[in-house]
Amino acid sequence: MQSETNLPVREVINPSKTTPTARVSPDSEPGRIVAWALERFANQRTIVTTQFGMEGCALIDMCARTRKPIEVVYLDTMFLFPETYALRDRLAQTYANITIINRGTELTPEQQTKQHGEALWEHNPDRCCRLRKVEPMARVMEDVDVWLTGLRRTQSATRANVQIIEWDWKYEVLKVNPLADWSRPQVWKYIQEHNVPYNPLHEHGYPTLGCTHCTKRVPGSSVTDYTRNGRWQGKGKTECGLHGDGI
Ligand code: SF4
């Protein structure tokens, strides 16, 4: 049993869910935060969400190392890269205590075209993301208490204020972002050192991976570069709307 001074998190979480913050020790490793969260909230409905980017894979590995059963939810937009589906299957095979669940939309691409016109992602990507990501995510969050994500502060300006532990007002859940302090090279180092499955497209100019229609190669980028420049190019959009108000 850890002494109090060794705990990764000093809790000041308000059970009324109005000021759910916690102070995290400066030396807290993401793996310790994950272990703390899964232990602390063992009786709450806790999930990880990911679209299988490098950060999500590292987070899944950290969860798996606790040997606790954990649900990993992803949203299949039906437009993911074949490499992403293959990675999902590899992760499921690698980690026996992880259950990967698709909670994506049931609206087929054909139905979307019929109801909203051809290539909605071209003429109204916000609506397309709302149908295929934001609304399904809201349904996921209806019965969730604690939400673990792979968000990092240096991923983008819109993520600069991500806290390791914060209250998510949008979904009214406690949000835990164990990798918030990490850089992309740290994530890559973790992936390499722990032999974590990852998407091979990261090595071919794709710093992030979303839907095929809205993700382009970023020439010259390496696995340790993180940029969202390859997403929604020319659309003035960098986030799909799953995190926070504008992100
Ligand atoms: S990323 Fe593109 S294709 Fe995917 S849901 Fe958003 S707009 Fe639609």
Q: Is residue 134 part of a domain?
A: yes
Q: Is residue 19 part of a domain?
A: no
Residue 135: the pLDDT is 96
Q: Find out whether the beta carbon of 77 lies less than 6 Å from any atom of ligand 1.
A: yes
Q: Find out whether the beta carbon of 242 lies less than 6 Å from any atom of ligand 1.
A: no
Q: Find out whether the beta carbon of 80 lies less than 6 Å from any atom of ligand 1.
A: no
Q: Find out whether the beta carbon of 211 lies less than 6 Å from any atom of ligand 1.
A: yes
Q: Is residue 56 part of a domain?
A: yes
- CATH number of domain containing 151: 3.40.50.620
Closest residue CA from atom 5 of ligand 1: 129
Q: Is residue 244 part of a domain?
A: no
- Pocket test of ligand 1: the residue of 115, 128, 134 to mutate, having most ligand atoms within 8 Å of its CB, is 128
Catalytic residues: 240
Expressed as residue numbers, the domain containing 104 is: 28-202
Average pLDDT over residues 211-238: 88
Q: Is residue 6 part of a domain?
A: no
Q: Is residue 190 part of a domain?
A: yes
Closest residue CA from atom 8 of ligand 1: 128
Q: Is residue 62 part of a domain?
A: yes
- CA dist 78 → 50, 106, 148, 214, 236 (Å): 15, 9, 23, 13, 23
Query: Which ligand 1 atom is nearest residue 125's CA?
Result: 7
Residue 4: the pLDDT is 45
Average pLDDT over residues 106-125: 96
The count of domains in the chain is 1
Span from the CA of 85 to the centroid of ligand 1 (angstroms): 16
In the chain, pLDDT over 90 holds for what percent of residues?
69
Q: Is residue 77 part of a domain?
A: yes
Evaluate if residue 121 carries a pLDDT over 80.
yes
Q: At what angle do helices 54-65 and 82-94 cross, to 10 degrees?
A: 10
Average pLDDT over residues 77-83: 98
